[in-house]
Structure 1
Amino acid sequence: MKIRHSGKAGLWLLALALGGCGEYGGRSDGLQGGGSVAARSLEEHFSGKVQPQLDFCRTCHVPGAPGDVENGHDFMLAKDRSRDLDNLRASWERLGRNNPTSRILRMSSGQETPHSGGAPWPVGSAPYKNMEILLKCFENGAGCAALLAGGVDAGTLLPLLAEGHRGGHAWSRYCEGKDDAAALPVSPVALVKPGVNAGKAVYFNAYYKNCHVDAAPEDAAPRTCGDWRGRIERGGVIMKGNGVQGAAGNFIGNYPAAAVIPGFHLTADAYNNMWRSWGLSKRPENYDQLLAARWGVVLGPERNPYPLPGEDPNQTDGGSGQLPTAWTQLREADGRWSGKLASTCHACHSGQVGLPGEAGLPGAIYGTNSLSDIGVIGRDTLFAGYAIGPALTAFTQVRGLGNITNFQIFNAISALVTPANLLPYLLMQTSGGTGSEDPPVWWNYGHRPLKFFDGGMSSDAQRILVSAFTPLGAANPIPLNVNAAFEWIEQHDQDAAAWVLDRRSPKYPEPVDVPLAEQGAVLFHSKDLFALPANAGRERPKGGNGSCASCHGAYSPRFVHDPHYLETPELEGIAGYIVPRDLIGTDPRRVDGNDQEVSRTFEKDWFGYPEQRGTENDCGDQNLDRIRGDRENGYLAPPLYGVWATAPYFHNGSVPNAWEVLKSSDRKPIWRRVSAPNETGLDVVMGFDPSFRRAYDRQKLGWKYEEIPCGVGGAMPYLECDPSDPMKNPLLEQILSVIYANGGLAWNIPNLLQTPLTNAQVEERKIYNTRLYSQDNGGHTFTDALTDAERKAIIEYLKTL
C-alpha cells in the first residue's frame, strides 16, 4: 500500500477530523511524551499545550467538513491554524462560556452526549487540564498567571495510520533479525483470558485455551525463534505441496506413493484426459490454464510438475505440466516421481487477487479462496476415477463456497472406530445442516483466540487443522488404522499450524487517500453505532464502545496505545468477540446446525482433545453450554488485516463488497461475479476473474458483479423465482430447506443428485442466490446508520490494514 495525500487538501484535511466529531463513543488518549514547563502567557500556553490537540478537532470542525452541520456550528475552527485562538474563543462564547464547566470540556470528555468525537479528552487528562486552564483564562484574565503553572505537557498524538504493513503472527515479526536462541514472548492470543480488557472499548468474550498442556516435546509449542523457524519450514513442506518430498495429500498424509490405496489418488494419465468429459474434441494447448479456470484453483508461481502425455516423470524432473496448488504429485520413498496425484488443502484455501503483470498485486495467495468450485472438481475427478470425488461434490452448491467445517462429517471417524460414540453420532444427524460457508483466511489465524466462524474451537486446537490429511487412504503401515493415523497428525499438526500462522496478509496495491483514511480510522475505532437514533431500541453488545473496533479489534497506533481501548498494545489486531446470533442477524444456519447435540458429540471426539475435558484448558467445542457459560452463541467477528483481499464477505460469502456490508439496502438477492474472458474460441468454462484491473471495485472494496434478474431459468430449478415477489421461495426450495434444517448430512446427500454434468450447469453454479438455505445476505444492519460519506472513509481506512 502506498500512501498519497489528496490534492484536495482543503476538502479532505477535515475528513481526518471525523476523528474529532461524529457520534463516536470512546476515548483516544494515544499520546507520547512527558514533562512540563509552565507557560509565561496565555498565548504561550495555547500554542504549546492546547493548539496541538486541536488538530484532532480540525478534521471535523471546519467549513465543509462533517462538523459543519447545524448542531456543530457552535464549535468551529478554520483550515488556517493562525486563527485557532480567536476561533476557539468565539466558540467558547457561543457555547455559553464556563457554566460552570464549558460545554467544550463536557462534550470532549464524555460528560455530555452525544458528541460525535466521543471523549478524546477524559476528565483529568493532560488535554482536558490544559483546555480547562485556557477557558478559565478567557473568563478571568487577571487570574490567568496563577493558572498557567498547572499546565501539563500533553505529549504528541500518535498517528492514526500505522507505518508499514502489520498482520502476520507476532512471533514472525518478533523474530525478524533475531538469533535462533532468542526466547519467544507469550503469544498475544494467549492473553485473551476471562476478564481481559474488561471495561475497555474493545470487547472480548471468546477466550484462548492451551490444547497442548503436558504435550510431548515434538507437539509442544515452540520456545525460541529457532524452534519457530524450524516449525514453519517443516510445516511448509507438509502444507504447500508442489511435489516436494514429504508434501501431504488429502486422506493420505505424506506417505510415499506406493503406500496410497487406489481411489485416494488420481493418475497423471487420468488428469491429462479430463478434457474428454468437458465435451471437447481434443486436448487444448493451454490445458493447465483452462483446467485451473474451470475449477477455480490457482496456478502458483512455484513449479508444481506433473507428466504430460507420453512423458516419464523421472526423465523430466516430474514432468512438463503445471499442477494448480490444489494438487501435488506424490513421490516414492526414495524420492522418485510416481505419476500419482493427490489433492491438497488448497482446493479450498488458496485463491488469487491480481494477474501476473498487475503491479503490486499478490496474485496466487495461500490461505484464501472464494474462487473454487469443489463440486466441479469432484465431478471431473469422479469421472476420471478418483473415488473420493462424490464426497467433495457433496460439500457445495455454489462456486466459491463449501460445507467445509462440517462437524457431522468430522465426527464420523470417531464414531466408526469407537462403538460408544456411534449412537450419539447418529442422534446428532437430527441437527440441521450448516450449509454454505466461505473459507476464512489463514493470515488472520494468529489474531483470533478461537477459530471457525462460530468460534467452535480454540485457535490452539491444531489436530483439526490437518484433519483432511488424516492418512486413512495409506496402507503399509496404515490400512485404515485410525490410531496410527492420529499419531501421524500429532507428529505434524504443530508444524503445519506454524506455517499457517506465518502467513501475512497482502498489502493494498494502490495509493490511499491519507486524510480520508485517517477520518475512517477514527470512525472505525470511536463511532458508537448503537447510540445513533437509527439504532434506537436495538440490542447492543454487552461490552465495548459500540464501534467497529469494539468487535473487530484495534489497529490504529493512536488507539492501540490508548489504555481505554486495550490493556496492552500486544492485543493489537486481535478480535475475540462472538456476536450473538440475533444481534448480528446474519444467516443463522451455521450456528443453528452446530447445536448442543453436535457440541456434546464433538467433545468426545479425538479432534476435540478429550484428554483435557473438564480442565481449565478444556479444548472441546467452545460453544458447549458448560464451557461458554452465559455467552450467547453466534459468529466470531473476524480480524481485518488484508480485508480488502477477502471479498465476498460474511461467513457465507453472500455480500460481494464492503460497501454493501455497511449498507444493507444495496445488497442484491441474486448476483454473479464477473467471469474471466474466454479468448480460446472453445466452449469451455472460465472461472471468476481475479484481475484487479478488470474485476475489482476499488470504491466498494470487493468484486464487481452483475445482478441476476428474477426468473432466470436453467438446469438448476432453485434459480427460478416469481418476478412479482423475488424473495418468495419456490416450493422446491422450501422443501429442501426443511430437509436441510433437520438433518446433519441432508445438505450433502441431495447435492449428489445435483452434480453438474454440462457446461451450462457449471455456469449456473456461479450464481449466488441469497434465498437458498444458508445463503441469506441479511444482518450487520447496525451500520446502515452510517452516512455514505462515513462509509467511504471507513472503506479507505480498511485499505490500510
Structure 2
Amino acid sequence: EAFFRFLVDCAKDPRFNADTLMAEINLAADLDFIDRMAYRYLIIPITKKRLTEREGQFQWIYRHDFPEWGRGRDDAMNLTKYFMIRWPMDDSFGPTDMPSIWNLQKYQPEQGHRMNFAGDSHDPYSVVIDSALGLMGAEPKNRNDFLGHIDWLVDYLKTKPAPKYPFPIDAGRATRGKAVFDAHCAACHASARTGTIVPLSEIGTDRGRIDTWGKQAAIEANQVVSDMGIQRKGLVEAPLTGYVAQFLDGIWLRAPYLHNGSVPTLADLLTPPAQRPQVFWRGYDVYDPVRVGFVVQGPAAERAGTPLDTRLRGNGNQGHDFGTTLSAPDKAVLLEYLKTL
C-alpha cells in the first residue's frame, strides 16, 4: 500500500521531471548518448504520464476511513476490480492476509474446492494467472512465454511441501491433541468439507472481504483475460457467501489467523472473540512456540511491525469461535498437535 502511494506521490511531485531525474541518474550510471535520450524523452515522461493516468485507480488507498493494510496484507479483490476491470471506486474494503502457497495440489476443483479466502477462484492455475495480471490488467507482451512461466510456477507450487515446525514437539501431548482435533476440528479442516465454502452465518467472521467482489465483477474479469487469448477456469461467476474451510498444512507458520489476519496466534484463536487482542503489531518475525504464532507485543514488535486495530473497518477479529470452550489442558495439547501439520 505504501509502495502504491509512493508511486502516485512521485508522479505528482513537480520534481519528477527529466532534468531532476537525469541529474541523479548521471551520479550513479554512465549512460551512452542513446540511453540518455531514451530516458529523457521517452522513459521518464511516459512513466510520469502513465502513473498520473492511474491516479484515480489508487484513490481508495488514500481514504482516511480505511485502516492501513499493514505488513503481509493487501486489499486483494479491490486491486483486481480497480485495475483489471477498471471499475469506479466504491465503498468496499476487504483487507486480506497473504495465503500460504505451498502444496497447491491439495486443491481439487472437481471435489468442490475453491481458492482464495472467499472461494472466488476455481483452481491454482487461475489464481497464479490472475495474480500476475490483476494489478495492471495489461496483456502479456509474449503470451506463450507468459504461460510457460505460469506452468513452471504452478508445477513448482503444487508439490512444494509445507515447512516443518522447527522447534521440539512433545509427541505424547501431540498424540492426545490429535484426539481433540478429531473431535472438535476435523469436521471442517480434515474432511470432505475442507476446501469448500462455509457460510458467513456459520463462520461469523468479518464480512468485508466478501463485499469487495461479486458475480458481475467475476464475469467482467474473466472476459478481460479471455480477450487476451488466455484460457483458464477463472474466477467463480457467483455471489460470495462465506469463507473457505482451510487446509491446515503448515498452519503453525501462517499467523496471524483468519482471512484478514486479525488474530495473532493459534492460542488467541482458541480464545473467545471478546478476549482476543484488540491491537497488535504485524511483521515482527520472532516466533512464539508457546502461543503458536509470532511475537506481536512489546517494543521490538512495535519497532519492526505495523499496528492492526481490530476495532477498525475490515479488521474485525470476531467469529470462528470453535474450540473456544475447550478446557485449558485440551487447548494445550491441541496446539501441540497443530504444530505437526
Tell me, yes or no, whether TM beats 0.5: yes
Cross-structure match for 1:791: 331
Residues 403 and 670 of structure 1: CA distance in aligned 2, closer, same or farther (over 3 Å)? same
**2:340 is equivalent to residue 703 of structure 1:** no
Q: Distance in 2 between matches of 1:548 and 1:623?
A: 30
Alpha-carbon offset, residue 672 of structure 1: 2.5
String of CA shifts for 1:419-474, please: whole Å, max 9, x gaps.
xxxxxx45xx55x52421111011143323321111111123142142268794xx
Residues 471 and 407 of structure 1: CA distance in aligned 2, closer, same or farther (over 3 Å)? closer
Aligned partner (choices 77, 84, 87) of residue 406 of structure 1: 77
Q: Distance in 2 between matches of 1:639 and 1:403?
A: 21
String of CA shifts for 1:545-601, please: whole Å, max 9, x gaps.
xx41222226xxxxxxxxxxx7xxxxxxx9322111121111111112223343343
Summarize the alignment of residues 690-729 of structure 1 with structure 2, pairs less than 5 Å apart: 690-691=285-286, 696-706=287-297
Alpha-carbon offset, residue 771 of structure 1: 1.4
5+ residue gaps, structure 2: 1-10, 12-20, 31-49, 109-113
Alpha-carbon offset, residue 402 of structure 1: 3.3
Residues 586 and 399 of structure 1: CA distance in aligned 2, closer, same or farther (over 3 Å)? same
**2:117 is equivalent to residue 453 of structure 1:** yes
Residues 763 and 405 of structure 1: CA distance in aligned 2, closer, same or farther (over 3 Å)? same
Cross-structure match for 1:433: 92
Aligned partner (choices 282, 294, 308) of residue 768 of structure 1: 308
Cross-structure match for 1:499: 156
Cross-structure match for 1:637: 245
Aligned partner (choices 750, 759, 777) of residue 317 of structure 2: 777
String of CA shifts for 1:177-213, please: whole Å, max 9, x gaps.
xxxxxxxxxxxxxxxxxxxxxxxxxxxxxxxxxxxxx
Q: Distance in 1 between matches of 2:211 and 2:137?
A: 31
Q: Distance in 2 between matches of 1:583 and 1:455?
A: 15
Cross-structure match for 2:213: 594
1:604 match: secondary structure = helix
Summarize the alignment of residues 284-299 of structure 1 with structure 2, pairs less than 5 Å apart: none
1:671 match: secondary structure = strand
Cross-structure match for 1:394: 61
Are the equivalent residues in 2 in contact too, given 1:404–1:437 (CA < 8 A)? Answer: yes
Summarize the alignment of residues 286-365 of structure 1 with structure 2, pairs less than 5 Å apart: none
Give the length in aligned residue pairs.
289
Residues 500 and 701 of structure 1: CA distance in aligned 2, closer, same or farther (over 3 Å)? same
Cross-structure match for 2:190: 553
Alpha-carbon offset, residue 784 of structure 1: 1.6
Residues 607 and 658 of structure 1: CA distance in aligned 2, closer, same or farther (over 3 Å)? farther
Residues 620 and 498 of structure 1: CA distance in aligned 2, closer, same or farther (over 3 Å)? closer
1:790 match: secondary structure = helix
Q: Distance in 2 between matches of 1:464 and 1:438?
A: 17
2:98 match: secondary structure = coil
Task: Report the structure number with the largest CA radius of gyration.
Answer: 1
1:773 match: secondary structure = coil
Task: Please report the TM-score for the alignment, with normalisation by the length of structure 1.
Answer: 0.32
Q: Distance in 1 between matches of 2:247 and 2:155?
A: 18
Are the equivalent residues in 1 in contact too, given 2:260–2:314 (CA < 8 A)? Answer: yes
**2:286 is equivalent to residue 670 of structure 1:** no
Letter in 2 for 1:645: L
Are the equivalent residues in 2 in contact too, given 1:470–1:486 (CA < 8 A)? Answer: no
Summarize the alignment of residues 227-626 of structure 1 with structure 2, pairs less than 5 Å apart: 387=51, 391=58, 394=61, 397-406=68-77, 409-410=80-81, 412-414=83-85, 425=87, 430=90, 432-449=91-108, 450-459=114-123, 460-461=125-126, 462-467=128-133, 472=138, 482=139, 484=141, 488-525=145-182, 527=183, 547-553=184-190, 575-606=194-225, 619-622=233-236, 624=238
Q: Distance in 2 between matches of 1:764 and 1:645?
A: 18
Summarize the alignment of residues 153-232 of structure 1 with structure 2, pairs less than 5 Å apart: none
Q: Distance in 1 between matches of 2:279 and 2:211?
A: 24
Q: Distance in 2 between matches of 1:491 and 1:433?
A: 35
Alpha-carbon offset, residue 404 of structure 1: 4.3
Segment drifting more, 386-395 vs 491-500: 386-395
String of CA shifts for 1:150-190, please: whole Å, max 9, x gaps.
xxxxxxxxxxxxxxxxxxxxxxxxxxxxxxxxxxxxxxxxx
5+ residue gaps, structure 1: 1-262, 264-269, 274-308, 313-385, 416-424, 473-481, 528-546, 555-565, 567-573, 613-617, 626-631, 674-687, 709-761
String of CA shifts for 1:22-54, please: whole Å, max 9, x gaps.
xxxxxxxxxxxxxxxxxxxxxxxxxxxxxxxxx
Task: Please report the TM-score for the alignment, with normalisation by the length of structure 2.
Answer: 0.70
Identity fraction in percent? 24
Residues 483 and 646 of structure 1: CA distance in aligned 2, closer, same or farther (over 3 Å)? closer
Alpha-carbon offset, residue 519 of structure 1: 0.9
Residues 608 and 448 of structure 1: CA distance in aligned 2, closer, same or farther (over 3 Å)? farther
If each structure's helix is expressed as a fraction of its own residues, which one has the higher value? 2
Q: Distance in 2 between matches of 1:597 and 1:437?
A: 21
Q: Distance in 2 between matches of 1:782 and 1:403?
A: 26
1:792 match: secondary structure = helix
Residues 764 and 465 of structure 1: CA distance in aligned 2, closer, same or farther (over 3 Å)? closer
Q: Distance in 2 between matches of 1:447 and 1:441?
A: 12
Alpha-carbon offset, residue 502 of structure 1: 3.5
Give RMSD over aligned pairs: 4.2
